[in-house]
Amino acid sequence: MPFERSSGLLLHISSLPSSGGIGDMGPEAYAFADFLAAARQRLWQVLPLGPTGYGNSPYAGLSAFAGNPLLLSLERLAERGWIDRQRLASLPGTSAQVDYEEVSAKKLPLIEEAARNFLHRHSGAEWAHFESYCRENATWLNAWAVYSVLRRKFSYVSWNQWPDEVKHRDPQALEELRGEHAEEIATAKAVQFAFDEQWQALRKYCADRRIRFIGDVPIFVNYDSADVWTHPELFELNGDLSPIRVAGVPPDYFSETGQRWGNPLYRWEVLEQSGFAWWVDRIRRAHLLYDLIRLDHFRGFEAYWAIPGSDETAVNGQWVRAPGAALFQRLQEQLGHLPFIAEDLGLITREVDSLRERFRLPGMKVIQFGFSAPGAHIHLPHRYVTNTVAYTGTHDNDTTRGWWEAGASENEKAAVRAYVETRDGCVVWPLIRAVSASVADTCLFPVQDILELGSQARMNTPSRLKGNWSWRCPEGALTPALAEKLAALAEVSDRDRPQREG
């Protein structure tokens, strides 16, 4: 559906300069919301909010429904009386990078301590609210709580390496484990209760300032996740619960062997027979968290690359049709309008475009991609249409400055100079202005770009296994002068007009 003409910034919660070693939903999140309001930016895009596993990638989460406990603000929990503020003195500071190992070791125990305190010291009203939350979210919360406790019990190995009776979800074995770990399971639920309370408070604060959240829903889920362990019937798994086929993309110009992502594929026929109930629940949950939803790898809703599970590369995969139209129709019937953004980057077929257009979903354009060859000009502003979400770059790109200084070819640089004025070699803000002045209804800029940071501030390098997802915004970098600069651009490009009624 078409969106209001507006602009915004891309900054994941973990990248905020919060105390505790990682960005969270505390004071720095509210300060960033104030910056957005002063800058007349109406959108805040975040990456998936779920708990992360190996590699710390938000796109390889342990749950498609739960929130990441590390994003909780201990300061706000202390304000609620869940934990003594003095207990926070040993936490890491506001350093420029997230050290996930240190944060997990020092912050997570305090989060769980606060949750246990709540369980034992709550008021009657708080407990009633907690019980209501548990009932309303039981379809995913119960499974997540048990999974997260068992994952720790079995030394954080993937669930397919757990004892057979637990791996195969033997009812008696699970019942015994629930009794043995009852307090830990309740603690895990209390952590999610706190997460949702903090997120909704932040979301309301933003809404009061006319700021909407864009969230991210990856099409596939991680094999080592509560979702696959709880619902093996929904995924292509063998009798021993190993993947029959996995997701990825075929060989291309960038990789002779393609990309083997390893996510188990859906049994779409089983999902369709249930009226796509799991997907309806997933998008309903996303609706509760975000105003707009970016569908990662939209291409896979039309057809996906299926790779034999035993193969080490993506070479021997094949394209398999997906029932995307039936899914979106069902979601529309159950949930109403679809506030989706289709991440349609890469090699896109006419069939994928038709699926997106059928449901009037805006696609994405990234100006950084537009200068390599004439065929790439679809990413340049003069080729945009209104129902588009345009970026200078995404979390997977180098920063615009980093790309300009180290990644762009001489031909690309010549094309950029022909397209925009690059006085004194400065290219970042000319490209920001070009995107903002386009007809695209929505434009978004990574915070690294408005700060003109180089490659050291890159969020993710897809081919790199370690060192991703750790960038944090420097303290004090988002100045009033920068807010004024963005506000002036929003005004002159008509991206801060009053919202239409209805």
Catalytic (active-site) positions: 296, 343, 396
Measure the CA–CA gap between 164 and 170, rounded to whole angstroms.
Answer: 9
Measure the CA–CA gap between 354 and 339, rounded to whole angstroms.
Answer: 18
Concatenate the DSSP letters of all residues of 306-364 into one string: EEETT-SSSTT-EEEE--HHHHHHHHHHHH-S--EEE---SS--HHHHHHHHHTT--EE
Strand runs labelled E in 174-321: 212-218, 245-249, 259-264, 292-296, 303-308, 318-321
Token reading at 407: 């990644």
Bridge-based pairing of strands 303-308 and 318-321 is antiparallel
CB 50 within 8 A of CB 39: no
Token reading at 301: 């809703």
- Listed in sequence order, the residues at least 6 apart from 376 whose beta carbon sits closer than 8 Å to its beta carbon are 369, 370
CB 56 within 8 A of CB 62: no
What are the helix and strand counts (H, E) for the chain? 19, 12
CB 272 within 8 A of CB 328: no
Measure the CA–CA gap between 74 and 84, rounded to whole angstroms.
Answer: 10
Concatenate the DSSP letters of all residues of 66-87 into one string: ---GGGS-HHHHHHTTSS-GGG
CB 298 within 8 A of CB 320: no
- Listed in sequence order, the residues at least 6 apart from 51 whose beta carbon sits closer than 8 Å to its beta carbon are 61, 62, 63, 66, 67, 68, 69, 70, 148
- CA distances to 4, 52, 498 from 501, rounded to whole Å, are 11, 39, 9
